[in-house]
Amino acid sequence: MDLFIKFLVAAVGAGTPLLFGTVGEIISEKVGHLNLGVEGMMSIGACAGFMVGYFTDSFLLALVASFVAAALSALIYAFLTVTLMANQNVTGLTLTIFGIGLSNFIGVYMLERSPNGTLKLPERITASMRSIHIPVLSDLPVVGELLFSYTPFVYLGVAVALLMGFYLFRTRTGLNVQAIGENPASADAAGIEVSRWKYINIVLGGGICGIGGAYCSMIINGGVWISDNVGGLGWISVALVIFAAWKPQMAILGSFVFGALRILKYYMPKSVIDLPVAFYDMLPFLITALVLILSSVHESRGVNIPANLGNNYFREER
């Protein structure tokens, strides 16, 4: 029982970067832009967050830096696909390659210049990222551990997901945004500024992905910089969008389930099932493949996929 609770708590933590990635991608896909650059944007966010945290020793500044840097990389994507109408898939893949490369490059550059050959976040920032202890609530048995024992990232992620869900499904602006992803020509004819909202959503989505990247570089490895720290989580996020049916609220559930899959290898007693570790590493990707298969078999109306996902919009097209 105790192990199980520990497993759940760990699953939430492991799912958190996925949550940011998924919510960010949903915001972008809702305006019809499939951004395959999530992995790259997260890497850029990871690098910016870590480096700013390393030098300023401020958690808040690190978060802001990861958001801004990833948002800027999303701005490149937005400019290429919205304004110049480049192919979205190619642009997104390029952004991924660019983002990972840039992040690793800066990382190696800094490593070579560090006095002891490693980069480790200073103590003060590590302390401010530790699990928040709320008096009374965190001390409750079971509930306290399950709900009130997390790092600030977790609460921020859930808050962002709920906020974005409200934005998309409960506001007039959200209705307009959804219309753009469904049918940009209709949205345009209805007087919605299509390009403007595409930019806003793509950039906002990119920034949210970046915070997920900061989690990867600052938390997962205990505050020590390693290369390729996002390690494929961006790709799982892209697939999780489908699992979450383009709903940020559903992304909370989806990312925690996938988080559980990621850490299963540490918690599955060898006496129950003895499988090689590589099997567990593969598991999230296997489930992703299954989700993709199931969702394309069960394709029908109301599955929420934006009808014009992947298509650029040019008003004067004839």
CB 47 within 8 A of CB 69: yes
Q: Quick check: 297 binds another protein (CB under 8 A)?
A: no
Taking phi over 0 as left and psi of -120 to 50 as alpha, with beta for the rest, 142 belongs to left
Q: Considering only residues 227-256, where is the footprint of another protein by CB under 8 A?
A: none
Site string for another protein, 192-221 (x = CB under 8 A): xx----------------------------
Q: Rounded distance, CA 194 to CA 103, Å?
A: 32
115/302 with CB nearer another protein: 302
Task: Extract long-range pairs of 121-125: CB within 8 Å, 24+ residues apart.
Answer: 121/50, 121/53, 121/54, 121/218, 121/223, 121/224, 122/54, 122/57, 124/57, 125/53, 125/57, 125/58, 125/59, 125/62, 125/218, 125/223
3-state SS class at 120: strand
Site string for another protein, 150-179 (x = CB under 8 A): ---------------------xx--xx-xx
Neighbours of 315 (CB within 10 A): 10
Token readout for 125 is 């920032």
Q: Quick check: 302 binds another protein (CB under 8 A)?
A: yes
Quick one: which of 74, 75, 104, 88 has its CA closest to 217?
Answer: 104
102/185 with CB nearer another protein: 185
Q: Quick check: 282 binds another protein (CB under 8 A)?
A: no
The least CB distance from residue 103 to another protein, in Å, is 38
Q: Quick check: 112 binds another protein (CB under 8 A)?
A: no
Q: Quick check: 183 binds another protein (CB under 8 A)?
A: yes
Which of 189, 275, 289, 293 is close enough to bind another protein by CB under 8 A?
A: 189
Q: Quick check: 191 binds another protein (CB under 8 A)?
A: yes
Under DSSP, the state recorded for 224 is: B
172/270 with CB nearer another protein: 172
282/307 with CB nearer another protein: 307
Which of 124, 130, 133, 315 is close enough to bind another protein by CB under 8 A?
A: 315
The least CB distance from residue 185 to another protein, in Å, is 6
CB 59 within 8 A of CB 215: no
Task: Using CB under 8 A, list all residues that contact another protein.
Answer: 171-172, 175-176, 178-179, 182-183, 185-193, 300-302, 304, 307, 315-316, 318
